[in-house]
Amino acid sequence: MPLLPKFPVDEREVDLSAIRAQGAGGQNVNKVSSAVHLRFDIAASSLPDDIKARLLALSDSRITQEGVLVLKAQQHRTQEMNRADALARLQEIVDSVSQPPKPRRATKPTYGSKQRRLAGKSQRSEIKASRGKVGE
């Protein structure tokens, strides 16, 4: 049984349009609009503000400068399956940012890591020093 999403996306806030798919498919691909183009305005959605902020902060090429998430689904042969696929991918993106990131706690390097770093530096220094001209 799949887990229910904490913050489900309201389908009324999603703009879906049917387009013609690209690629192989013979004559069918030229006459049937089976691909789905999904547009989701993040700022205008009913999602909580912290999730909106994390979505907009994603460095994802599918998010426009206006804050609209654009997905194209053309994996399947039918428009209904592509529509379901696009909505599932949108929910997956929202679920990926629903958990706030853990705050990073700064730690000091261990004594052993300092010793290894210094040993590596001295070894490199010896290698470079041995590159000099050979004396007589």
pLDDT digits (tens, 9 = 90+) for 86-104: 999 999 999 999 888 899 9
Paired with 41 in beta bridges are: 68
Paired with 69 in beta bridges are: 40, 63
Strands in 14-19's sheet, in edge-to-edge order, are 14-19, 35-41, 68-73
pTM of the model: 0.70
Could you tell me which residue, 2 or 88, shows the higher pLDDT?
88
The domain defined by 11-96 folds into: Double Stranded RNA Binding Domain (3.30.160)
Q: Is 106 exposed, middle or buried (0-12, 13-18, 19+ CB in 10 A)?
A: exposed
Residue 2 vs residues 5, 93, 100: alpha-carbon distances, Å: 9, 16, 22
pLDDT at 33: 84
Could you tell me which residue, 130 or 22, shows the higher pLDDT?
130
pLDDT at 1: 45
